[in-house]
Amino acid sequence: MTYDFAVIGAGVSGITSAITLAKKGFHVALLEKADRTAPLVRGFSRRGIHFDTGFHYTGGLGSGQPLDVFFRYLGISDRIVSFQYDEDGFDLFSCENPGFEFRFPTGYNRLQETLGEAFPRERGAIANYLAQVRSMCASIPYLNLNMEIDPNGALQRVLGPTLQETLDALSGNALLKSLLSTHSLLYGVSCNEVAFAQHAAIVGSYYESVHGIRGGGASLARAFDGRLAELGVDVLCNSKVTGLSISNGGALSGVRLEGGDSLACRGAIATIHPRLIPELAPEGTFRPAYRKRLGTFEETISAFACFAATKMPIPTLAKTNRFLIPDTESIYQLGSRPIGRAPLYLTAAYKNGETNPQGFIGICPTLFSAVSAWESSSFGNRPEEYRLYKEQALARMQAQIERAYPDITGNVQFIEGSTPLTIRDFCSTPLGGLYGAKHMVGQFNPHSATRIPGLFLAGQAIVAPGLMGAIISGFLACGTLLGHDFMRRELKACC
């Protein structure tokens, strides 16, 4: 049997691509190397507590906003229950030195007002910054369904200016600049590397509205599974793609799977890390320069994370995430500070089905080099030194959390840690990058179209990380195939 399309990787971008193609009537195979679809966002459970991994919260899911429209198009709106984060403070920024707290409210106007109250002398800079974020978001195709694909627009995200340059031009206030750079933890690139345009494209939707999904990423994954089944997509888990088959004419004709099987198809969308693409393509199919470019992409920051259950519920964590920032400089070079004295993101974990948090997840940006001594070890088979490193790092992280949030002190029932090696193996990112390849000034991430007829690319490396970026990358790949006008019309019908 020959499929119309094979989609490689059943993450959010692969599932989006598969649903879009199946809706158009194509016969689609969705190939995933893990034993379940959407492994990154699905999370895991320990002793009745659900811990999210690749999805905690999202912007743009308010009624009629882009993600709401995308979910309706994908047919999952009725299969999930979303809830709004605290409108007065979806994220609480706490700077230890100088002592300062700021609650990010939702809505551009309220954010401008609240920032202005905290920084009265910076009202002009704040208004200017928010206006720039807003206009940048409005210029992004698919985020704005009326925008045409414009290669020059995409270039802004490669040529700069950086977020830091933009903020420096607006204000001299270190605390304000640190505050506005904090969300760099959501995409894993330091503010002196990320283009302002890229930063704006990601944070802009969070400034509009912030939602979570009841049951977390697992509910989202189940909703996707139901929709894929309904549309007749052949979902093949435990199917690692090891190569692309190319016809004599040079077009894609199939994919090869680990174990020796192969699958014939007329086209494919690959959503895996771009560094892994050259390994799949036969020698000579890509130009050496392109192969080298894909193979040398810089990676987003990795992380050390903790997953804890508490004896008593911690209501203060419900609907508000915490960003703990040791000082105004610490957010600038992600990964440069040791665990325990580095910026830290803290979010809630819930007992299955409940709405009062009974646990937490902490994520601290960490360089891969912290664990590279053990990079040849594999899960379940790591040496004693690694275990010691993990234990000490976990103790430092727990102490930092308890210092900042006394209601957690003495309340921890159990706590486990994960390191950049865990992320490398779990997320299939070669250097444990939280969000795969960086989007940074000077790095030309690949386009959806490739030189091989029939092969297209999607995934967080193409547009942006996050649910929104991964979904748009799927639409972009399908739009490249089916026509962007068609894609936009389909999406607009769901507005």
Ligand X SMILES: Cc1cc2nc3c(=O)[nH]c(=O)nc-3n(C[C@H](O)[C@H](O)[C@H](O)COP(=O)(O)OP(=O)(O)OC[C@H]3O[C@@H](n4cnc5c(N)ncnc54)[C@H](O)[C@@H]3O)c2cc1C
How many residues are there in the chain?
495
289: number of Cβ within 10 Å:
8
Site for ligand X (CB under 6 A): which residue of 6, 7, 10, 393?
A: 10
Q: Which is nearer to ligand X, 56 or 337 (CB)?
A: 56
Q: Give least dist CB 200 to ligand X, A.
A: 16
331 belongs to the binding site for ligand X (CB under 6 A): no
Q: Which is nearer to ligand X, 115 or 277 (CB)?
A: 277
Segment contacting ligand X by CB under 6 A, of 31-39, 84-92, 104-112, 393-401 = 31-39
Residue nearest to ligand X (CB): 11
13 belongs to the binding site for ligand X (CB under 6 A): yes
Q: 336 — phi, psi (to 5°)?
A: -85, -15
Q: Which is nearer to ligand X, 253 or 302 (CB)?
A: 302
434 belongs to the binding site for ligand X (CB under 6 A): yes
In Å, how far from its chain's centre is CA 243? 26
34 belongs to the binding site for ligand X (CB under 6 A): yes
Q: Give least dist CB 207 to ligand X, A.
A: 15
Q: Which is nearer to ligand X, 90 or 166 (CB)?
A: 90
Q: Which is nearer to ligand X, 26 or 90 (CB)?
A: 90
d(CA 28, CA 19): 9
256 belongs to the binding site for ligand X (CB under 6 A): no
Restricted to residues 57-86, the positions that interact with ligand X (CB under 6 A) are: 57-58
11 belongs to the binding site for ligand X (CB under 6 A): yes
431 belongs to the binding site for ligand X (CB under 6 A): no
Q: Which is nearer to ligand X, 31 or 111 (CB)?
A: 31
Q: What is the DSSP string of 286-346?
A: S-HHHHHHHHTPPBPPEEEEEEEEESS--GGGTT-EEEEEEETTTTTSTT-SPTTSS-EEE
348 belongs to the binding site for ligand X (CB under 6 A): no
Residue 350 β-bridge partners? 50, 357
Restricted to residues 39-58, the positions that interact with ligand X (CB under 6 A) are: 39-41, 53-58
User: Could you give the C-alpha distances from 187 to 30, 99, 184, 301, 465, in angstroms and in order?
Assistant: 26, 26, 5, 9, 6
Segment contacting ligand X by CB under 6 A, of 36-44, 146-154, 396-404, 440-448 = 36-44
User: Could you give the C-alpha distances from 407 to 97, 266, 401, 412, 416, in angstroms and in order?
Assistant: 21, 57, 10, 10, 19
31 belongs to the binding site for ligand X (CB under 6 A): yes
In Å, how far from its chain's centre is CA 321? 16
Q: What is the dihedral of CA 436, 437, 438, 443, to 10 degrees?
A: -170
Nearest residue to 438 via CA among 427, 448, 446: 446
Token match 């390994």: residue? Answer: 279
| Cβ atoms of 311 and 82 closer than 8 Å | no
Interface with ligand X (CB under 6 A): 8-14, 31-34, 39-41, 53-58, 240-241, 271-272, 276, 363, 427-428, 434-435, 459-460, 465-467, 470
